[in-house]
Amino acid sequence: MRYFFLPILVGLLFLISYEGIFNYVSNKIAKNKINQTQRVADRIKVFLFNNKLLTWVFKGSQALFPSKNLININNFEAHRVGEYLLVKSRQAVIDKKRKFISLQGNVFVEFKKNGKSIRIKTSKAFIDLTKNIIYGNRVVEVWEPHRVIKGVGFRYNIKTGSFIILRDVKTSVNTP
């Protein structure tokens, strides 16, 4: 009698383990299909040229190419060649057709103005490569030597170096 239940028990264990393995393999295949439709690159570096001159260098830990004109870059970092301008964010979406970059998550923009280093922090910003501006409309903190400025929204002109906070400006002075 006890040998009667043993094959049934072994059969049930086999069916349960088979179903678990089947679900695991099915999920892996589904994930691979998603990765095959989106090309992926690790540790990327992109060079942007304008009139045969190197103007920007973009770097990131990983890039996804969801379509012909879009590049999603994680741990994005960009610097402008020939001047001190550094841009960092957790994620960036580059639209090649519009020449536009959307930055999200811990966005930092650092540049020099009159020999002083200025650093901007916000949660979301944009770079318009055709108009040569970096702007945002979220809460912003600006660190300058000996003072911190807080406000909402900013606009930085890459060509002229002009910078403005758009509204709700509050300044605090730090002594050296």
Q: Going residue by residue through the chain, which has 176 residues, state the pLDDT in tens, using 9 for 90 and above.
A: 556 666 665 555 554 555 555 555 556 555 554 454 567 878 888 787 776 777 888 899 988 888 888 889 999 999 888 888 899 999 999 998 998 999 999 999 998 888 888 899 999 999 998 899 999 999 999 988 888 889 999 999 988 888 888 888 887 776 55
pTM: 0.72
pLDDT at residue 21, as a whole number: 56
pLDDT at residue 115, as a whole number: 81
On whether both 129 and 69 belong to a single domain, the answer is yes
On whether both 72 and 103 belong to a single domain, the answer is yes
On whether both 65 and 136 belong to a single domain, the answer is yes
pLDDT at residue 15, as a whole number: 45
On whether both 97 and 134 belong to a single domain, the answer is yes
On whether both 111 and 130 belong to a single domain, the answer is yes
How many domains is the chain built from? 2
Residue 155's DSSP bridge partners are: 135, 164
Domain extent for 2: 1-37
Q: Give the C-alpha separation, 79 to 144, whole Å.
A: 20
What ranges make up the beta strands (E) of the chain? 39-50, 53-65, 70-80, 85-95, 100-113, 116-128, 133-144, 147-157, 163-173
On whether both 129 and 95 belong to a single domain, the answer is yes
Cβ atoms within 10 A of the Cβ of 7, count? 9
On whether both 117 and 57 belong to a single domain, the answer is yes
pLDDT at residue 31, as a whole number: 57
